Amino acid sequence: EIIEFNRFFNRIIDRFEMSKSQNVHFERHLPEEQYFVEIDPDKLTQVIDNIISNALKYSPEGGTVRFAMTVEEGALQIRISDQGMGIPKENIERIFDRFYRVDRARSREMGGTGLGLAISKEMIHAHGGSIWAKSAYGRGTTIFFTLPFEIDDGGEWE
């Protein structure tokens, strides 16, 4: 299915913004332009839902979750950042493994199975994109993913 990504992404963010119970601020840095992507919207929704729920789960009281999107090397690059506890450098690659959770004690408290990011990685790869994380332990985490978009060069000459 061909979807305009900006609108699709904003709707998911809106849904979280309306239903969140925590005192966490949302900040959007999204372009004005439209970008068309060929995606399975249900699967992409699942990916983004998991990343946002993780960001909220680990956000401190009064923290900010930041949403950003730019075009990098011909693909959309989407970034979702939080100001949570972060992930130690030595564990950062493993958060995309099945059942991996950084710290058993804190994870038990938070609930979940440790499958969310493993599934997200499979789905992003199936869409021709990639997914990775950057984190400063104690200061926050950013999840990055990319999606190829359709080049629409017809409009300008009409």
List residues binding ligand ATP (CB under 6 A): 50, 54-55, 58, 82, 84-85, 87, 95, 100-102, 107, 112-118, 141
Which residue lies nearest Mg ion, judged by its C-beta? Answer: 116
54 is a site residue for Mg ion (CB under 5 A): yes
Residues 6+ apart with CB under 8 A from 68: 28, 29, 30, 78, 79, 80, 81
* Shortest reach from residue 122's CB to ligand ATP, in Å: 11
CA 29, CA 9: separation in Å to the nearest integer? Answer: 12
Task: Identify what 113 binds: ligand ATP, Mg ion, none; CB under 5 to 8 Å per kind.
Answer: ligand ATP
CA 7, CA 128: separation in Å to the nearest integer? Answer: 21
* Shortest reach from residue 144's CB to Mg ion, in Å: 16
116 is a site residue for Mg ion (CB under 5 A): yes
